[in-house]
A and B are shown apart, each in its own frame.
Chain A
Amino acid sequence: MKLHEYQSKQIFSKYGIPIPKGRVAASADEARAIAAELGGRVVIKSQVLVGGRGKAGGIRLAKDSHEAEEIATQILAMEIKGLPVRKVLVDEAATINKEIYLGITNDRAARKPVMMASAEGGVEIEEVARKTPEKIIKVHIDPLLGLRDYQARDIAVGIDLPREHWKAFLQVARGLWQAYTESDSTLAEINPLVITSDNRLVALDGKMVLDDNALFRHPELADLRDSDVEAPAEIEARKYGLSFIKLEGNIGCMVNGAGLAMTTMDIIKLFGGEPANFLDIGGGAGAEKVAAALRIILSDPNVKAVLFNVFGGITRCDEVARGILTAMEDVKPSVPMVIRLVGTNAEEARQLLADAKMITAVTLADAARKAVTAAEA
């Protein structure tokens, strides 16, 4: 789950990282009031969960509160990469001497968090990473020990940070580590971390991505979710513990297990069809979950056929079958349904579904072919 810039910076601030004075506004009026309070030049920053806000014109400087209102009006009317701007952050404008990049993420290959820094921070950091990877300093952190001060100093040395800033930098690095661990992030990033003209270190922009699996520990953070980035069907799916992603094709898929769900999409394509979605009903799927899944799939008007592919393990086929029956009574689908059930309690499932009018298949390839044919008919 991605957090907005203003939310990330509020968390950073809680852990002692200096951030610019400012507040978030949902209207141009509020933006003007905040700008007046800050007394002068401010930056108006669109709060949307996509990159490239600046290039899209979603981050602009205002010289006074009057101009802040004008610009906020314009930005709040924007859509950036398909996402509506609902809020703007109004920050005091900083005079920047230098831009640094500082971030922590999970290095899955090293199985450790890695702190990364570069003296060449700013919007082109990805370019720096691609063209001159040696300019990015990386330090792996032992998750059992946490970030040690010497590691933060090594980073300061690595990016040629003048000694006068080391103390402040250590505070920022420690704060970022705390923010990352205590929020169960998969990414916590300051870009840029600036040295201002009055020689302070300030986190001008921030980004955090939280681990969805850990949100049970952070109900206050779970509440920050911005549902604009998800399709309504995906939000509905999450309520039932389903993983759903809408795609462009016409064959709806209901599968247990992410790997098998992807494989089912792949094989539909291999046999000339187009999957309408990715849907993993997960382990131990009961009737209610399956019924919800079917409703979600059929809510897509493009769907011309549905393919059920369930290989029972932790999920028991008879439970899935009961869910399908419940859902069919409820939704009364008009599209053909191809079903393949193998594994734990598959025989019971087949008996349960004997009277339902479904096209049955034994192998995966057979199921995919039948679904492709059914969708074309």
Chain B
Amino acid sequence: MSILVNKHTRLLVQGITGNEGLFHTQQMAAYGTSVVSGVTPGKGGEWVLDGKVPVFDSVKLAVDATGANTSVIFVPARFSPDAIFEAADAGISLIVCITEGVPVQDMMRVRNYLDQKKVRLVGPNCPGLLTPGEAKVGIIPGDIAIPGNIGVVSRSGTLTYEVLYALKLLDMGVTTCVGIGGDPINGTNFIDCLSMFEGDPQTEKVVMIGEIGGTDEEKAAEFISKNMTKPVVSFIAGLTAPPGKRMGHAGAIVEGGSGLAADKIAALEAVGVRVASHPEEIPNLLT
């Protein structure tokens, strides 16, 4: 078992003929993900991956022809909101937006539109999902995780890889890893994933990776205390981040006394979540 992506995932890649899109399509297909089609407006009729994957002009055409149920987006930030709307309108049920730098007002419109439909968005500005041994949707390197019973959810990208890799080195496997992205407005949050992991019979423990900014970790702590029977271990990045500074493209910013790493750690520890002092300590806390 797993959450969101598995061997039944039929993946469509938006922006499949671009540099990053093509590179990661190769990686996803090589991992064994069922990549059924791609979309690049104006390049319909072409094929990629040695003639194995057809390219369409629109998501609707790709869905009709190939039965795609999941879309991963690699198009530039200025075109990403439209790509998400297009996927949602074409009946895709899971949209994963890897692109970083999408304007926040666009994301508010996207999110409020998607909330009216039965569609889940993961991201933007995220590494995507990995269900080891079944499907890789996004850019998480496939060889850094093995199948197992730990659910991983993270706001970060490369920090997530750190954690997966640390687990793998100790032969600890993962059901699904979800990178929800670091932007202030995104499609899927900690609580959504914690709730799915709680309901997934194979997931026995959960790792939650947070960072400074916002109050999602505090809300997750409240959810954990009320709804989670499975143990949760956490790490929060940004203890040394100076307040008021935007730490990179992520939504990580400490604003006026809230959103501090120390407050998040305190909120999690208060409900019994064990918080690691660095990522490589996480495996110890899980045993």
Contact = CB atoms under 8 A, between A and B. Distances in A.
Q: Do A and B bind each other?
A: yes
Nearest to B160: A259
B259 to A, nearest CB: 10
B212 interface: yes
A342 B165 CA distance: 9
A348 to B, nearest CB: 14
A61 to B, nearest CB: 30
Interface stretch (B35-43, B54-62, B197-205, B233-241): B233-241
Nearest to A314: B139
Contact of B252 (A108, A258, A266): A258
B249 A364 contact: no
Given A214-B103, A259-B237, A314-B20, A280 B141 contact: no
B132 interface: no
A106 interface: yes
Interface in A294-338: 311-315
Interface in A341-355: 342-344
Nearest to A279: B248
Contacts, number: 174
B177 interface: no
Contacts of B134: none
A89 B78 CA distance: 35
B248 A266 contact: no
Contacts of A245: 242, 245, 247
B104 A211 contact: yes
Contacts of A312: 141
Contact of A247 (B162, B238, B242): B242
A259 B211 contact: yes
Contact of A269 (B108, B112, B240): B240
Contacts of A142: 112
B1 to A, nearest CB: 25
Contacts of B139: 313-314
Nearest to B169: A363
Interface residues of A, number: 52
B144 A364 contact: no
Given A260-B157, A260-B159, A280 B248 contact: yes
A184 interface: yes
A255 B251 CA distance: 17
A187 to B, nearest CB: 11
A56 interface: no
B248 A243 contact: yes
Q: How large is the interface on B (under 10, 10 to 19, 20 to 34, 35 or more residues)?
A: 35 or more
A265 B161 contact: no
B240 A259 contact: no
B109 A313 contact: no
B49 to A, nearest CB: 18
Contact of A257 (B103, B104, B158): B158
A213 interface: yes
B237 A263 contact: yes
A2 to B, nearest CB: 11
Contacts of B144: 342-343
Nearest to B241: A262
Interface of A: 106, 108-109, 111-113, 142-144, 181, 184, 186, 211, 213-214, 216-217, 243, 245, 247, 255-263, 265-270, 275, 278, 280, 282-284, 311-315, 342-344, 363-365
Interface of B: 19-20, 24, 27, 77-78, 98, 100-106, 108-109, 111-113, 127, 139-141, 144, 154-162, 165-166, 182, 184-185, 209, 211-212, 214-215, 219, 235, 237-242, 245-252, 277-280
Given A257-B159, A259-B158, A266-B278, 7 more contacts: A143-B108, A144-B112, A213-B103, A243-B246, A262-B212, A266-B240, A283-B20
10 contacts: A109-B214, A109-B215, A213-B101, A256-B158, A257-B156, A259-B209, A262-B237, A263-B279, A265-B241, A280-B247
Shortest Cβ-Cβ A-B pairs, 5 listed: A259-B156, A258-B248, A257-B158, A214-B103, A259-B159
